[in-house]
Homo-oligomer: A and B are copies of this chain.
């Protein structure tokens, strides 16, 4: 299995080229001064022998892996897929590879991933929408050289941050306000379970209350950020509380689940029931009726996160943040 199938080494190249290993190393790394003649010659030998430097050996001595990790709750959620793409593109540009860790919305797995990932594996880490409690997350981040956190705030000495302008995902509050303003009276909320970045039910109720609306905790539930979970939760919610005339979903997948449950329950959207989502995935614009939601620059989030990470990896540990703007997109599910 691990037969070193006659790997061509730096020394082979050196011997073949009649120079010292050090010269070859210099040619590869474009470092030090080398005469054009020998450089060309060495290059030719490298090409002829199809020599490729060993990453492991190089990493061992330079302490750089040329890899970054992206930790994500669910790569299957188009929201995260876009972010990852944004990361990957910039990484590729800079010659880095991306290690993808999917935690499947599972705290234990996220914890395990973060504690296993040490400096000899990866030069930096991007943590998206961590589901870990603060203390745990902070402690784990502290172990690492360079970290960027997406959709979460952390102490400024620990990591740079990419997040929405409205702290703590005030999106749901804005959605509630919008629904109130457009004449809805009995508004429900499906909060994302485990998301440390989602508006708490209490805040949501307070917000509704401040508009003079009835604020009923029974109209709120929690569910995982998946379509299935949103669908199931909406079924119970709608069965128990047919009086609802609007529901806010924690993200688009959940909102789409609500939409389906509503249609199946014979509700007319938006006539009987208005629905607002959260992150404007492609799906949101394609369903009928299309979903009112918030636009979020997902690709850009990933791209900027990578950019901030590279700055940290460079040794520049200054705290930076990239603030993105979430804008309400009115579509027919809540016009």
B-contacting 9-mer, from A24-32, A63-71, A238-246: A63-71
Given A78-B76, A121-B55, A287-B288, check contact A314 B1 (CB 8 Å). Answer: yes
The verdict on A119 contacting B63 (CB below 8 Å), with A76-B85, A282-B227, A287-B288 known, is no
Given the interface contacts A1-B314, A56-B60, A282-B283, does A84 sit within 8 Å of B75 by beta carbon? Answer: yes
Is A221 an interface residue when CB atoms closer than 8 A count as contact?
A: no
A63: nearest residue on chain B (CB-CB)?
B2
Q: Is the CB of A313 within 8 A of B60?
A: no
A101 at the interface (CB under 8 A from B): yes
Q: Is A109 an interface residue (CB 8 A)?
A: yes
Residues of A in contact (CB 8 Å), total 55
Closest to A316 in B: B1
Question: Nearest Cβ distance between residue A86 and chain B, in whole angstroms?
Answer: 10
Q: Is the CB of A52 within 8 A of B118?
A: yes
A264: shortest Cβ distance to chain B, in Å?
12
A102 cross-chain contacts in B, Cβ below 8 A: 84-85, 88-89, 92
With a cutoff of 8 Å between Cβ atoms, the chain B residues found around residue A120 in the complex are 52, 54-57
Nearest-neighbour CB distance to chain B for A134, whole angstroms, equals: 21
The residues of B that contact A314 with a CB separation of less than 8 Å are: 1
**How far apart sit A240 and B99, CA to CA, in the bound complex (Å)?**
46
Minimum Cβ distance to chain B for residue A184 (Å): 23
Interface residue from B64, B99, B104 paired with A89 (Cβ < 8 Å): B104
The residues in A between 103 and 133 inclusive whose CB is less than 8 angstroms from any CB of B are 104, 109, 118-121
**Is the C-beta of A280 less than 8 angstroms from some C-beta in chain B?**
no
A256 within 8 A of B: yes
> A22 an interface residue at 8 Å Cβ cutoff?
no
Closest to A60 in B: B56
- Cα-based distance from A334 to B257 in the complex (angstroms): 24
A147 CB to closest chain B CB (Å) equals: 14
Closest Cβ–Cβ distance, residue A261 to chain B (whole Å): 12
Instruction: Give bound CA distance, A109 to B92, whole Å.
Output: 9
Considering only CB atoms, which chain B residue lies closest to A257 in the complex? B286
Residue of B2, B74, B81 near A64 (CB, 8 A) is B2
Residues on the B chain within 8 Å of A81, using CB? 75-76, 78, 81
Q: Chain B contacts of A227 at CB under 8 A?
A: 282
Distance in Å: Cβ of A141 to nearest Cβ of chain B: 15
Known contacts A100-B99, A100-B100; A62 and B121 CB within 8 A of each other: no
Residue pairs across A and B with Cβ atoms less than 8 A apart, 25 shown, are A1-B314, A1-B315, A2-B63, A3-B63, A4-B63, A5-B119, A52-B118, A56-B60, A56-B120, A70-B100, A75-B75, A75-B81, A75-B85, A76-B81, A76-B85, A78-B78, A78-B81, A84-B100, A88-B101, A88-B102, A92-B109, A98-B99, A100-B100, A283-B283, A283-B286
